[in-house]
Amino acid sequence: MSRPTVFVSRKLPEAAMAIIRRTCEVTLWPEEERPVPPNELVARLREADGALLMLSDRIDGAVLDAAGPRCRVIANMAVGYDNIDIAACTQRGVLVTNTPGVLTDTTADLAFALLMAAARRLGEGQRLIQADRWTGWSPMFMVGQEITGATIGIVGAGRIGQAVAKRAAGFDMRLLYHNRKPSADMAALGAEYRGLDDLLRESDFVVVLLPLSAETRGLFGEREFRLMKPTAVFVNAARGPIVQEGALYRALQEGWIWAAGLDVFAAEPIRADHPLLSLDNVTAVPHIGSATVQTRTRMATLAAENLVAVVTGGRPITPVNPQVLDQ
**Quick one: 102 or 257, whose CB is closer to ligand GLV?**
102
CA distance 97 to 303: 7
**Annotated active-site residue in 121, 178, 194, 287:** 287
| Pairing status of strand 25-28 against strand 5-8 | parallel
- Does the footprint of ligand GLV cover residue 289 (CB under 6 A)? yes
DSSP line for 231-248: T-EEEE-S-GGGB-HHHH
Give the range of 74-82, 198-206, 270-278, 313-321 binding ligand GLV by CB under 6 A.
74-82
Instruction: Answer yes or no: 274 catalytic.
Output: no
Site size for ligand GLV (CB under 6 A): 14
Instruction: Answer yes or no: 268 catalytic.
Output: yes
CA distance 175 to 154: 8
Q: Which residue's Cβ lies closest to ligand GLV?
A: 158
- Does the footprint of ligand GLV cover residue 236 (CB under 6 A)? no
- Does the footprint of ligand GLV cover residue 207 (CB under 6 A)? no
In 3D space, the residue among 322, 319, 301 whose CA is nearest the CA of residue 22 turns out to be 301
- Does the footprint of ligand GLV cover residue 319 (CB under 6 A)? no
CB of 184 to ligand GLV, least distance (A): 15
Select the residue interacting with ligand GLV from 45, 51, 79, 168 (CB under 6 A).
Answer: 79
Instruction: Answer yes or no: 287 catalytic.
Output: yes
Q: What are the CA-CA distances from residue 172 to residues 22, 108, 168, 202, 282 (Å)?
A: 49, 17, 7, 16, 25
**Per-residue x/- track, 297-316, ligand GLV (CB under 6 A):** --------------------
CB environment 138-152: b (16+ within 10 A), e (fewer): eeeeeebbebeebbb
> Looking at the DSSP assignment, which residues form a beta bridge with residue 175?
152
* Residues annotated as part of the active site: 239, 268, 287
Residues in the site for ligand GLV, rule: CB under 6 A?
55, 78-80, 100, 103-104, 158-161, 209, 289-290
